[in-house]
Amino acid sequence: MKCDIKKSKIHGQISCPSNKSYTHRAIFLAALSDGKSIVKNILRSNDTEATISACRSFGVEVHEEDDIITIKNTIGSTVSGSMINAENSGTTIRIAIAIAALSGGNTMLTGDDSLRKRPMRPILSSLETLGITTESDDGTPPITIKGKIKGVEVNIQGDISSQFISALLIIAPRLENGLTVNIQGELVSKPYIELTIAIMNEFGVKVNCEIPYKKYVIAHQIYKPTTCTIPSDFSNLALLLAANVLLGDGVSFDISLGDMPQGDEAIIDILEDMGVSVTLNGDKITTKSPKLLNGGRFDLSDTPDLLPALAILVLKSSNPIEIFNVKHARYKETDRIAVICRELEKIGIDVKENDDGMVLTPTENLNPAELNAENDHRLFMAFSIIGMYIGDCSVTDPDSVKVSYPDFITDMKNSGGKIIPV
């Protein structure tokens, strides 16, 4: 399936979706809490539904009502014979792998074709040093987790995904003697560790950071039942803001900030560096853009999900955009560096692909093209914005947006975007 996309201007008002990362973590922490917890304003998407399903497979009772979930019981000390299908969600399977290691049982975890290609070796290797037996297809799903954690200190590789570290931090309080987590190598996506710690704090758990992004000590603690509200998602807001900049600055966005950190808030600074005026007035955010953007050099080591939004801004840039320190984007739903470079070349952008990023040189001669999103939700959204800017394009895999922003096409069409499923 694909969408035909015509040149468009957008206007009106769009509500930014809720944060996917916080939704995942809050649901898992509610399931690990000792009592009734309520999570409000959750993101409803295929990925978060996978996390809800995983919790049910772990024996947790989950009550759903619109964007509110209530969890009344906790994941037991023994989870035996569970089967977890994480679908396309890397966050779901990585946290669930760690939770499976809390039990003395036997848990199988798998996912869709894309997820079965994504690396899990760092967390599997770490769990093995803690006495867990793992079986996998060369470090990729399907994965079997057997046994119960016995150790109190673990080393974990940090240069592929911070999700591995987050998973270990999340289970640490449930261990009888706690856990010390040592991070080896350069940690990528650092803000996601802060995000994890922030939501753990919401559930009453304290994390002792002995060496920032290198060593964390978590004592045995009880996750306390709580009620929390999920803020808006700056990963999706980044794409919406990029669309606004490219398609006329005509939309205002409703957002719920809350007080929990998000690394992808860096999109505001990036846009301002490129010459865009970004205004936050209460719960509304708007942009005002120059005729041409400044371009520049951008380090996305901490914010890999900003890559698609930043890359497409080259369409309206007066100077090259260099993106670096984002090699870990190659381990997302797709190799996002390779796919973005390949597809931007189709529309006429001069592209230099580097191991850890790219250099994009703008052109006045943009060409319509058939763009292949390779079933990657963020790339479908980014390429659709390209199509609305250039006109007469097509983009594959519209269903991919169900992973993180199910209403994307509807919101764009309601705002004047000409996106036609065919």
- For the annotated catalytic residues, the residue numbers are 305
Cα four-point dihedral sign 302, 304, 307, 309? negative
The structure tokens listed for 349 are: 């952008």
Count CB atoms within 10 A of the CB of residue 259. 7
C-alpha to C-alpha distance for 329 and 357, rounded to whole angstroms: 9
C-alpha to C-alpha distance for 166 and 180, rounded to whole angstroms: 13
C-alpha to C-alpha distance for 138 and 321, rounded to whole angstroms: 37
Four-CA torsion 408, 404, 310, 419, nearest 10 degrees: -20
Q: What is the CA radius of gyration of the chain?
A: 21
**286 by DSSP, 3-state: which?**
strand
Closest CA to 230 of 20, 56, 16, 15: 20
The structure tokens listed for 201 are: 């704090």
Cα four-point dihedral sign 148, 153, 157, 163? positive
CB 65 within 8 A of CB 38: no
C-alpha to C-alpha distance for 230 and 236, rounded to whole angstroms: 14
C-alpha to C-alpha distance for 17 and 409, rounded to whole angstroms: 13
Residues 6+ apart with CB under 8 A from 71: 27, 30, 31, 33, 36, 37, 38, 39, 55, 60, 61, 62, 63
C-alpha to C-alpha distance for 245 and 253, rounded to whole angstroms: 13
Residue for token pair 């381990």: 331
CB 29 within 8 A of CB 200: yes
Which DSSP letter does residue 317 get?
A: B
**17 by DSSP, 3-state: which?**
coil
Closest CA to 60 of 36, 43, 86, 92: 36
DSSP line for 244-265: HHHTTSEEEEE----SS--GGG
C-alpha to C-alpha distance for 372 and 380, rounded to whole angstroms: 8
